[in-house]
Structure 1
Amino acid sequence: MGRLQYDRRGFGESDKPIAGYDYKTLAKDLSGLIEALDLSDITLVGFSMGGGEVVQYIADHGEGRLHSIVLASAVPPMMMKLPNNPEGPLEPAKAAKMSFDLTANAEAWRT
């Protein structure tokens, strides 16, 4: 079949909904595509946030369809500094401000 790539939601020609940019939803989107195309023995390459998406895909959907993965400069799913993740680089207050700033004018991000 050759090499395939897809546009994650919000990128390229994909839909650009206001919500659904969490790792669980992105991994579900990826799984839907893999299943719809009935792909197996594949290599997933995740760069930056895509690395977190690959990790979440494996956590939620297993490794059954995979041959291998590549994580390049990956941002795994747990960035938030919490009691159970004291090494997390993102303080909750900073994350809340970033979320507020990004959603305050969500329409600007869709164009």
Structure 2
Amino acid sequence: MAYFGTTIYTVQPGDTLYNIARNHITTIENILKFNPNIVNPNRIYTGQRIVIPWSPPEAIIYTVRPGDSLYSIARKYGTFVRNLIMFNYLTPPYIIYPNQQLVVTPSLE
């Protein structure tokens, strides 16, 4: 799968994966996919360098609700299922679950 790009971020005092993800318009799950060396997402260290996947500045983070599907989310936000798959690095069979956070991007043709 082709990735759109990444940046290297150096963890600062007081950082958590949650605030790093929020500040970079991505999800903790996506950060973990790029950093298999992070065994415990609650333990990152000042000075640690982590890979952050890029998201378009107009992207939003959506929390999956019971009954959601990739199709229903894409339709609700006027985007394509392939964008959800691509920006969330989902692999077949493309299963999503309640409370999962997804990067939702505008339509990209």
TM-score computed with the length of structure 1 as normaliser: 0.28
Which has the bigger relative contact order, CA under 8 A and spacing at least 6?
2
TM-score computed with the length of structure 2 as normaliser: 0.29
Structure number, greater radius of gyration: 1
Larger fraction in helix: 1
Larger fraction in strand: 2
